Amino acid sequence: MSARILDGRTISKQILAEVKDQATKFEMDWKSTPTLALVRVGDDPASVSYAGMIERTCKKTGVAFESHTLPSDADEDEVVRVMRKLNDDEGVHGIILQQPLPEDIRSEVVIEAMDPAKDVDGAHPLNAGRLARAAFVDRPQNVGPYFVPATPLGGLELLKRYGVEVDGQRAVIVGASNLIGKPMSLLLSRHWATVTVCDMRTKPLSEMTKQADILVSVTGVAHLIKGDMIKPGATVLDFGFAQLDGKWVGDVDYEGAKDVAGAISPVPGGTGPMTNAMLMRNTLAAAERQVRLGVKQASRIAAVSLTPVPLGDTKAPGVTTN
């Protein structure tokens, strides 16, 4: 029996429609448009393409988009100045930094110059630290407001929308990247999964992956995860993206995995489309927080209630939850 497909294209369209409705209400209530600014250095074709994709997504949701492109020979101080200018602009609610940057520009310096209240992709150390310190979902803790990187947040949302049980499950994450692997481990832990993170030194990898009720792969190594490395009935989230024989594929050998896994996200069309949808949702949340509190107050420590969101409350079309 083939695995259930975790269709990110369908779910992302649902989320974008929700954000559009909320953005319309926001504009009516506050006479302001949620605005996302993208900062990049140079005109790398992949970066230009990604910026265009974000701009198109913004148009679908009613979020305004600004692109701030510096020449490829810009220095670190110039990029920091642009970041600080956007911090002070009350008409800009969210900022994302396009990476990679030129070798002579330290990404950590530029990211730390960003206002955490506008860091809608959760890259700033304050946001990362608050995610790490946050209590489990049913234990309120005063860590302050924070943003989670859009890609792992999209993966979690995909599980929620398809009613995949996380509480009490064994989750194994292959790949310990700061952008996806580590925050995904924290998100799953907050939803009461028992999480193991594997890296390049984990041997034998298959012994770990076979134990996973939820298997997440984030390596960018084409077809690293074979069908015989997956526990029968497991849910597989594939964040990988690589070329193999002229085709874009994921970390997981989809053809070998689909008859073993209980549910699987395809590549393309699985976790990928969810990223920009969550970026729009984060931008709207940032805008709402800033208009209510003011930019200078929006990232300060405040009591937050991490009320658990029952997985499966919002379901994909035709999905039932036992």
Q: Which two tokens stand for residue 249?
A: 């594929």
List the domain range (segments joined by +) for residue 207.
Answer: 150-272
pLDDT confidence of residue 151: 97
β-bridge pairing 235-238 and 263-264: parallel
Residue 301: which pLDDT band, with cuts at 50, 70 and 90? low
What are 93-152's pLDDT values in tens digits?
Answer: 999 999 989 999 999 999 999 999 999 999 999 999 989 987 555 555 566 688 999 999
Q: Which of 74, 94, 116 is the last residue of a domain?
A: 116
pTM, entire model: 0.90
- CA dist 195 to 153, 166, 173, 186, 238, Å? 16, 11, 7, 8, 16
Residues 6 or more apart whose Cβ sits within 8 Å of residue 241: 220, 248, 250, 267, 268, 272
Q: How much of the chain exceeds pLDDT 70, in percent? A: 89
Q: Which of 116, 140, 158 is the last residue of a domain?
A: 116
Residue 224: which pLDDT band, with cuts at 50, 70 and 90? very high
Residue 231: which pLDDT band, with cuts at 50, 70 and 90? very high
pLDDT confidence of residue 142: 60
* Rounded CA separation 131/193 (Å): 16
Contact call for residues 119 and 285 (beta carbons, < 8 A): no
Assess whether pLDDT exceeds 60 at residue 317: no
Residue 292 belongs to a domain: no
Residue 319 belongs to a domain: no
Whether residue 154 sits in one domain with residue 55: no
CATH number for the domain including 204? 3.40.50.720
What are 235-245's pLDDT values in tens digits?
Answer: 999 999 999 99
Tally of domains within the chain: 2
CATH number for the domain including 34? 3.40.50.10860
Residue 122 belongs to a domain: no
Whether residue 253 sits in one domain with residue 185: yes
Assess whether pLDDT exceeds 70 at residue 69: yes
Q: Torsion over CA of 216, 217, 223 and 225, rounded to 10 degrees?
A: -50
| Greater pLDDT, 43 or 305 | 43
Average pLDDT of the residues in 78-83? 98
